[in-house]
Amino acid sequence: MNDTQSQKTLVLFKPGVLQRRIAGEILNRFERKGLKIIAMKLLRMDKPMVEAHYAEHKGKDFYEKLVEYTLTGPVLAMILEGDEAVMIVRRLIGPTSIDSSLPGTIRGDFAAHTRLNIIHASDSPESAGREMALFFRPEEICEWTDGNSPWF
């Protein structure tokens, strides 16, 4: 059909999503785009896990508050799969900075503060590999196919 590449990416609904009861509404945006859920887990991250997830931001001025926020409640972690999933998910989510997140994107529609931007997604296939391994054991990933469905 085309030369796009199937990818997997890690998406994390931060505590604000569950607190505001908008998990279904956000998940719907990924599904209607044609992305496939192949793993999902509701969990409370502990501090070492949050620090491992956000290791690249250690030392930045927002880091301590970011860790604190991520620990305020359960998160919903998932792996989404689809053609160019890393890029497609990032575009659906919108830029990290709320200043640049336009209406129509998840952050543009649901978040008012950059630090509390409600959702995280891997920024490259390499990050996706590392982040998926932090949240999921291989046996927790459920691969499935659409058969010959032409839709996606």
Catalytic residues: 120
Q: Which residue stretch of 34-42, 76-84, 114-122, 130-138 sits at the interface with ligand CMP (rule: CB under 6 A)?
A: 114-122
With binding defined as CB under 6 A, does residue 127 bind ligand CMP? Answer: no
Site size toward ligand CMP (CB under 6 A) is: 8
Which of residues 60 and 152 has its CB atom nearest to ligand CMP in the complex? 60
- Measured from the CB atom, the residue of 62 and 152 that comes closer to ligand CMP is 62
Q: Should residue 57 be labelled a site residue for ligand CMP when binding is judged by CB under 6 A?
A: yes
Distance CA 126, CA 17 (A): 26
Among 22, 40, 50, 115, binds ligand CMP (CB under 6 A): 115
Burial class (CB in 10 A: 0-12, 13-18, 19+), 85: buried
Q: Is 91 in the site for ligand CMP (CB under 6 A)?
A: no
Verify binding: residue 58, ligand CMP, rule CB under 6 A: no
Q: Mapped to the 3 state alphabet, what secondary structure does 72-112 carry? A: CCCEEEEEEEEECHHHHHHHHHCCCCCCCCCECEHHHHHCC
Among 18, 96, 127, 130, binds ligand CMP (CB under 6 A): 96
Q: Are 28 and 13 in contact (CB under 8 A)?
A: no
CB of 83 to ligand CMP, least distance (A): 22
Does residue 114 belong to the site contacting ligand CMP (CB under 6 A)? Answer: yes
Q: Are 111 and 101 in contact (CB under 8 A)?
A: yes
Do 21 and 76 touch, CB atoms closer than 8 A?
no
Residue 58 main-chain phi, psi, to 5 deg: -55, 135
Residues at the contact surface with ligand CMP, assessed by CB under 6 A: 57, 62, 66, 96, 114-115, 117, 120
